[in-house]
A and B are shown apart, each in its own frame.
Chain A
Amino acid sequence: MISKEDVLNIASLSRIHLQDNEIDQLTKNLEDILEYIAKLEKLDVSNVEPTSHVLPIENVYREDKVNSSLGQSAALKISTENQNGSFKVPKVIE
């Protein structure tokens, strides 16, 4: 069961502000999704290896070689605001 509190918690973790009418709708939607997914729980997976990835490949590395970076000005082009070569954001202190 998904509660209204769960939805509000997820919204807050995701930095999403919800209107009152959206909360009930989303609670129902999430509930439906979980119910649908719950069908998987009925499958017998006792003979299936646990896996963390959909592709049957492993050990994909790169060698420790430096390649050129974007550089400061290119990087800052995607910023909404910048100052002294840095991305400028609202003041945050945890």
Chain B
Amino acid sequence: MDKTATKEYETVIGLEVHLQLSTESKIFCSCANKFGEDPNSLTCPVCLGLPGSLPVLNKKALEYGIKAGLALNCSINPLIKFDRKNYYYPDLPKAYQISQYDMPVASNGFLMITDEDGKPKTIRILRAHLEEDAGKLIHESTCSLVDYNRTGTPLLEIVTEPDLSSPQEAYDYLQNLKLTLQYLNVSDCDMEKGSLRCDANISIREKGVIKLGTKTELKNMNSFKAVKTALEYEVSRHKKVILAGDRITQESRLWDESKQMSFSMRSKEEAHDYRYFPEPDLVPFVVSDERISEIKASIPELPFTKLERLIKEYKITEYDARIIIQDNAISDFFEECTLHYKDFKKICNWINGSLLQELNSRKTKLAQIDLGALEFTKLIQKIDDETLSNLAAKDVLTHMIDSGKSVDEIVKEKGLSQVSNDSELEKIVEEVIADNEKVANEIKEGKESAVGFLVGQAMKRTQGKANPKKVGEIIKNKLSKSQ
């Protein structure tokens, strides 16, 4: 075996995430910041880069940038400025992108992940800066088509230090980052719509070596899973190249999802000569401590703090708590339920089971449906007091979400209520006994096992609405009494 093959390598990964901020208007002009409209319908002289037009910063975009920076434990820079990043590409009408170079909104933060041994690991965040998104290019066979609607969408670029040691860690970082950002309501974080995009820098080095290996930059991954797969591919590609005695070329590579391979973009070196200089059309921005405190106060309890608190406060399992914190609205809903109903485990079961199933099958979120915590706990109570069977309760939940009606209304309308009323049940049992005289006689003679058959007949007769426990009791009662 080749001697080099026994060498151990370690992986070094850094991620750049571009997050589209969900402001109403674009970052430097008043065009709507909206996805899926007719091409070029949301454009103006500013975002088309027409001569003489001037950008003005959207106050909300800066606020969102600061908010995200704070949630990622960054320091907010007291003086913020914008710079021009120069390059030619048809999706960039000004031939420069307004970005931030040396005075970004936020720097030196961190986000926690769990490493492969299950221990907490700190991933340092180098910086988060604001910039404008470019337009969207569609490549046809003989030409390219440009839609400038996306031009000027506010972006926050969040850059980590090279602290991630495996594709799995990169995946976990992205999950945790997305969850944290979702709690802030600054972006819809939808990778499919491109509102969250991720580029990855990766290199490998021999274990024990301090100097970083030559890195490549991976682009064009359209899901977190694709980021992980692309990184796994790239790690093994680097190893193969190095073990063959060759050198890695520093370059950008495109991930091809259908081929499951990365390909060199073969871009010229000069493409990276961005010649940054201060943007003369925008004045600097000073963020006061008061403003920072105000924004800090608007940040809700973040997911991982909430996770720990829920486990401690409600004595629910970590497994349950992890599911509940995946959506801020769900975790708020859970806590509201606990005000009305005290079996917290049961609330978890109903949220993480039937409710999430309902939401998933409708491809919707809790915030989008009309379901109150009080009604939801009333539904669970109806099972406790034997008004509803488990199965019937699930059915009621479906109708509650469909119609927005109350539990009581639906139970009444659908006649789903379990029949527990003694006189009603007695009448049914009498009918069943009359129809099954032979079995009834067997029971009278002591064949207890036949009771179940009669209970089954009573259930059939009531379409499952009879309370089976009570029916059994009445049958036994009647057949022993008449002895």
Task: Report which A residues bind B (CB closer than 8 A).
Answer: 9, 12-13, 15, 52-55, 57-67, 69-72, 75-76, 78, 83-94
Considering only residues 1-54 of chain B, those with a C-beta below 8 Å from chain A are 23-25, 30-32, 38-45, 48, 50
Tell me which of B41, B143, B273 contacts A83 (CB under 8 A).
B143
> Is B280 in contact with A67, judged by CB distance below 8 angstroms?
no
Tell me which of B39, B48, B285 contacts A85 (CB under 8 A).
B39
Tell me which of A85, A87, A93 contacts B139 (CB under 8 A).
A93
Tell me which of B31, B42, B143 contacts A88 (CB under 8 A).
B143
Please report the C-alpha to C-alpha distance between residue A93 and residue B141 in the assembled complex, in whole angstroms.
Answer: 11
Say whether B286 faces chain A, with CB atoms less than 8 Å apart.
yes
Say whether B450 faces chain A, with CB atoms less than 8 Å apart.
no
> Is B145 in contact with A86, judged by CB distance below 8 angstroms?
yes
Please report the C-alpha to C-alpha distance between residue A87 and residue B54 in the assembled complex, in whole angstroms.
Answer: 22
Task: Report which B residues bind A (CB closer than 8 A).
Answer: 23-25, 30-32, 38-45, 48, 50, 56-62, 81, 86, 88-90, 103, 137-140, 142-148, 265, 267, 270-271, 273, 275, 278, 280, 282-286
Report the 3 A-B pairs with minimum CB-CB distance, sorted nearest first.
A67-B30, A64-B60, A86-B145
Tell me which of B40, B50, B142, B283 contacts A86 (CB under 8 A).
B40
Please report the C-alpha to C-alpha distance between residue A61 and residue B80 in the assembled complex, in whole angstroms.
Answer: 13
Please report the C-alpha to C-alpha distance between residue A54 and residue B81 in the assembled complex, in whole angstroms.
Answer: 13
B57 to chain A, nearest CB (A): 5
B95 to chain A, nearest CB (A): 9
In the complex, what residues of B have CB within 8 A of residue A59's CB?
283, 285-286
Please report the C-alpha to C-alpha distance between residue A72 and residue B39 in the assembled complex, in whole angstroms.
Answer: 7
Interface pairs (17), CB distance under 8 Å: A13-B270, A15-B88, A53-B284, A61-B58, A62-B59, A64-B24, A64-B61, A66-B24, A66-B32, A72-B40, A75-B48, A86-B145, A88-B143, A88-B144, A89-B143, A91-B143, A92-B139
Please report the C-alpha to C-alpha distance between residue A13 and residue B278 in the assembled complex, in whole angstroms.
Answer: 19
In the complex, what residues of B have CB within 8 A of residue A70's CB?
43-45, 48
Please report the C-alpha to C-alpha distance between residue A28 and residue B37 in the assembled complex, in whole angstroms.
Answer: 51
In the complex, what residues of B have CB within 8 A of residue A86's CB?
39-40, 138, 145-147
In the complex, what residues of A have CB within 8 A of residue B278's CB?
52-53
> Is B56 in contact with A90, judged by CB distance below 8 angstroms?
no
Tell me which of B58, B60, B147, B280 contacts A53 (CB under 8 A).
B280
Residue among B24, B146, B278, B286 with most chain A CB within 10 A = B146
In the complex, what residues of B have CB within 8 A of residue A75's CB?
40-41, 43, 48, 148
In the complex, what residues of B have CB within 8 A of residue A53's CB?
81, 278, 280, 282-284
Closest Cβ neighbor of B219 among chain A residues: A94
In the complex, what residues of A have CB within 8 A of residue B148's CB?
75, 87
> Is B23 in contact with A84, judged by CB distance below 8 angstroms?
no
Residue among A87, A91, A93 with most chain B CB within 10 A = A87
In the complex, what residues of A have CB within 8 A of residue B142's CB?
91
> Is A90 in contact with B283, judged by CB distance below 8 angstroms?
no
> Is A13 in contact with B57, judged by CB distance below 8 angstroms?
no
Residue among B89, B146, B283 with most chain A CB within 10 A = B283
> Is A90 in contact with B144, judged by CB distance below 8 angstroms?
yes
A93 to chain B, nearest CB (A): 6
Instruction: Given contacts A61-B57, A92-B144, list 6 more A-B pairs with CB under 8 A.
Output: A58-B283, A62-B56, A64-B59, A69-B42, A75-B148, A85-B39
> Is A52 in contact with B81, judged by CB distance below 8 angstroms?
yes
In the complex, what residues of B have CB within 8 A of residue A61's CB?
56-59, 62
Tell me which of B41, B89, B283 contacts A57 (CB under 8 A).
B283
Please report the C-alpha to C-alpha distance between residue A83 and residue B1 in the assembled complex, in whole angstroms.
Answer: 59
In the complex, what residues of A have CB within 8 A of residue B56's CB?
60-62
In the complex, what residues of A have CB within 8 A of residue B48's CB?
70, 75, 78
Please report the C-alpha to C-alpha distance between residue A6 and residue B43 in the assembled complex, in whole angstroms.
Answer: 37
Please report the C-alpha to C-alpha distance between residue A66 and residue B86 in the assembled complex, in whole angstroms.
Answer: 28
A7 to chain B, nearest CB (A): 14
Tell me which of A57, A64, A76, A87 contacts B25 (CB under 8 A).
A64
Tell me which of A71, A88, A91, A94 contacts B89 (CB under 8 A).
A94
Tell me which of A60, A84, A89 contacts B39 (CB under 8 A).
A84
> Is A94 in contact with B265, judged by CB distance below 8 angstroms?
yes
Closest Cβ neighbor of A81 among chain B residues: B143
Please report the C-alpha to C-alpha distance between residue A53 and residue B284 in the assembled complex, in whole angstroms.
Answer: 7
Closest Cβ neighbor of B291 among chain A residues: A59
In the complex, what residues of A have CB within 8 A of residue B43's CB?
69-70, 75
Closest Cβ neighbor of A87 among chain B residues: B146
Closest Cβ neighbor of A63 among chain B residues: B59
Please report the C-alpha to C-alpha distance between residue A9 and residue B137 in the assembled complex, in whole angstroms.
Answer: 27
Q: Assess A94 versus B143: contact at CB under 8 Å? Given A61-B58, A85-B39, A86-B40.
A: no
In the complex, what residues of B have CB within 8 A of residue A92's CB?
89-90, 137, 139, 144
In the complex, what residues of B have CB within 8 A of residue A64's CB?
23-25, 58-61
